Amino acid sequence: MEFHGLIHTFPKEVKAVLVAFVITLSVGFYGGLSFVRSTTSMSLIGIETHYLGNENDEEAEIMKFKKSKGEILTVVHNHILSLSVIFLLLSLILSTTSINKKLKHFLMIEPFFSLIFTFGGIYLLWSGIIWFKYIVIFSGTLMVLSFSIATLAILKEIFFSKS
């Protein structure tokens, strides 16, 4: 069955639901990203401090403590489960667009790898493998870029498609 370009044939009502879904999903995704920015300053030291604490830094403005095992497992578990469903739904919608097939395939698969590397990396960072903060930053950035490009591609196809 061929899905490539199928979004162009969807009725207006289906396209409207997809637009509402993608926009609502984006509000939630970027809202979560805003939370990450406020808790980590989107920096290597911020990520390290958020999960490992800063109780040894007497100059710290805000005292943070190392996350407990239960807290870190909850963060990893919840994010991997919820974001994998989000990326599955986004990938299914993206599969119906007519964008370049190689780019589409990359955008459909990459977020799942980034999920594992980002949240697995957070767990490994918490476990004491400090250099994993670099993997977390890289894979997290790649995940956000993939999400952004996929959502923009879907909206472009819906609004500027050949009906």
pLDDT in tens, 53-77: 988 888 888 889 999 999 999 999 9
For residue 124, give the nearest of 65, 59, 47 by alpha carbon: 47
Residue 163, pLDDT > 60, answer no
As separate numbers, helices (DSSP H) first and strands (DSSP E) second, the chain gives 5, 0
pLDDT of residue 2: 84
Amino acid 127: pLDDT? 97
In this structure, of 5-9, 47-51, 58-62, 156-160, the range with the lowest mean pLDDT score is 58-62
pLDDT in tens, 108-152: 999 999 999 999 999 999 999 999 999 999 999 999 999 999 999
Render the burial of 101-140: b for 16+ CB within 10 Å, e for the rest.
eeebeebbebbbebbebbbbbbbbbbeeeeebbebbbebb
82 close to 126: Cβ distance less than 8 angstroms: no
Q: In this structure, what token pair is assigned to residue 156?
A: 């472009």
